[in-house]
Chains A and B, each alone.
Chain A
Amino acid sequence: MSQQLAIVTQGLTKQYKNITAVNNLDLAVPKGTIYGFLGPNGAGKTTTIRMLLGLVKPSKGTLSILGYNLETQRNKIAQKVGAIVETPAFYNYLSAEDNLKVLAYSSNLSLTSNEINKLIDRVGLTGRGKDKVKTYSLGMKQRLGIAATLLSNPEILFLDEPTNGLDPAGTVEMRNLISELGAENRTIFISSHLLNEVEQICSDVVIVKEGEKKLEGKMSSLLAQTKGFAIKANPSIEALSILQQYPNLETKPETDDWLYVKAQADDIPSVISALVSARVRIYQVIERRNSLEELFLELTGQPKQALSHS
């Protein structure tokens, strides 16, 4: 049986005069997944989220949420969706409690003060519910934004840069909260620049650039691909000359002691055997896998200097 889909877009396009913000984007987000939506600045992430929320009308293409057409069946979707788009916006002259009341009423819900306070507690704003939002830091507003998305206990959450403005401890808390929300069988569509965060919490990922999809897949399978091996050997110069005799291997020095060998896992025993036979000492062999950061930079054409050697 095919997996049920929470969000489906087909040929989604948004054109602003001469600029194509989103170009022919096909998405199929399975229900119950934490779906990372990645791309550099200006890739069309926020425009896509705004289109998925009905704030911006697509120039072309179709989109459906939970099987309902967004254009014609909005009333069936509205209460099933919660969202933070870019920086959360609130009525600064109102308290957090009043803001949540306004947003609950706007969802045609009448929540009790107790229910609102529970949400405030859940996002770590205990004791600050009566304070006006104008006294809140960006991080606190982000937390309040999460509380606002949960008012109608939605099936789908759209979170656009949810860790923006949070300190490291707040980021960890937010990550745990998002994982917790995902474990409640919600679909979470999360856009973030923090690739490490996305790598840790998302089950699926799509990378977009200039409004076009560059890669989509399960995080586990994308990151499982072996890129090659790093070998710590001594003397490394001799090791390099031995390995360069294998035409099917691509070998290059990384540091004084380390060599990088682009090879399949099946090639490694013979490589090690050849080095040992030549009296090269082998200290470590490390399998190199794709990191989300490397994949992202490779697909989006960002400078390679940004890559770490880890």
Chain B
Amino acid sequence: MLTWNLFKAELLKTYKLSINQILMVIMNVMGGFFYLSMILMAKVYGGGYLREAEVMLAFPRSIDLSIMTINHFGVLLAIIYMANNIGSEYGRDTWKMILPRYGSRLSFIATKILVALLAMLTLFVFTIGFWVTLSYLGAIFLHVNPTTQLTPGEKTTTEAFKALTMTALKMSFYGLLTALATTVARSVVGGVIAGMALSLTLATAISVPIQTFVRCMPSVHISNIEMQWTKNTRELEEISQAFGTVVSTQTSLCVVTASILLIIGLAFYIFSKRDIAGN
């Protein structure tokens, strides 16, 4: 049974773990460095640099950049984060201290995965907030309008939200896959390597010329959901070709949900059955 106390234990560990703080710093230093360079260039050289800064720093367009960055790094960070979160308990041999303390092993692993997903979400929400605040302050510093109306054809905040939702789905999927890999590998390094290998393999699944195989691949279904939702016809056509037919969003959602449940089920089963025999 999940309890608030188990969440508090996991939150305390997560909050104080230096690698999580480092990830937060990296994400924000990246934003800080980018905006500082843009603002300095605009301030020193003016002209085209200033006009470019005015466009990029204005809200809500400024959200795009942070989301784009998260889209690029999200899955990688999810893999590292999840592998470290679960694998470090094996590395430190701390499972032996905590598992005998409670009735169910599953409660520990479930809490750990939930808190890890929550922490990643918090990291990205904080990153977006920080980057948007930086761009807003930068616009004020440059005496340009910090807000703007988006022109027709530009990405809207709804689209940004869709992109963010898809990133969250991908991160959850690959994060859970890494959680499973780490319970098998029982180490951080093993978890990261297996997580990355699996994500790369799944990313190339679309190019396998066996339609039945492609139809079973949750990664292709995630892309299908994304392309259908964002109405990206060109990509959608490629996916339909790989599937051999047009697959509906609902079907893809079912496949992805089933895959996630299977991954969680396997991770729980392995974790509850394997011996914690020490290092």
In the complex, what's the smallest C-beta–C-beta distance from A15 to chain B, in angstroms?
12
Task: Assess whether A85 is in contact with B273, with CB atoms less than 8 Å apart.
Answer: no
- Kindly state whether residue A56 has any CB partner on chain B within 8 Å: yes
Task: Assess whether A55 is in contact with B99, with CB atoms less than 8 Å apart.
Answer: yes
Task: Assess whether A105 is in contact with B100, with CB atoms less than 8 Å apart.
Answer: no
Given contacts A85-B96, A91-B13, is CB(A50)–CB(B277) below 8 Å?
yes
Q: Which residues of A contact B278 (CB under 8 A)?
A: 46, 50, 85-86
- By beta carbon, the residue of chain A nearest B92 is A89
In the complex, what's the smallest C-beta–C-beta distance from B3 to chain A, in angstroms?
5
Task: Assess whether B5 is in contact with A93, with CB atoms less than 8 Å apart.
Answer: no
Task: Assess whether A53 is in contact with B100, with CB atoms less than 8 Å apart.
Answer: yes
Chain B contact surface mostly: helix
Q: Which residues of A contact B103 (CB under 8 A)?
A: 74-76, 78
Task: Assess whether B18 is in contact with A93, with CB atoms less than 8 Å apart.
Answer: yes
Task: Assess whether A106 is in contact with B273, with CB atoms less than 8 Å apart.
Answer: no
Task: Assess whether B96 is in contact with A50, with CB atoms less than 8 Å apart.
Answer: yes
Q: Which residues of B contact A74 (CB under 8 A)?
A: 103-104
Interface size range of chain A in the complex: 35 or more
Given contacts A91-B92, A94-B16, A105-B5, is CB(A57)–CB(B275) below 8 Å?
yes
Task: Assess whether A78 is in contact with B92, with CB atoms less than 8 Å apart.
Answer: no
In the complex, what's the smallest C-beta–C-beta distance from B197 to chain A, in angstroms?
27
Task: Assess whether A55 is in contact with B277, with CB atoms less than 8 Å apart.
Answer: yes
Cα distance A106–B96 in the bound complex, in angstroms: 12
Q: Which residues of B contact A92 (CB under 8 A)?
A: 92
B residues contacting A by CB (< 8 A) are 3, 5-6, 8-9, 12-13, 16-18, 92-104, 108, 273, 275-278
Beyond the given A50-B278, A89-B97, A104-B5, could you list 18 further A-B residue pairs with CB under 8 A, ordered by the A residue number? Answer: A54-B99, A56-B277, A57-B273, A75-B102, A75-B103, A79-B101, A81-B100, A89-B96, A90-B97, A91-B13, A91-B92, A94-B13, A102-B9, A102-B13, A103-B9, A105-B6, A106-B6, A110-B5
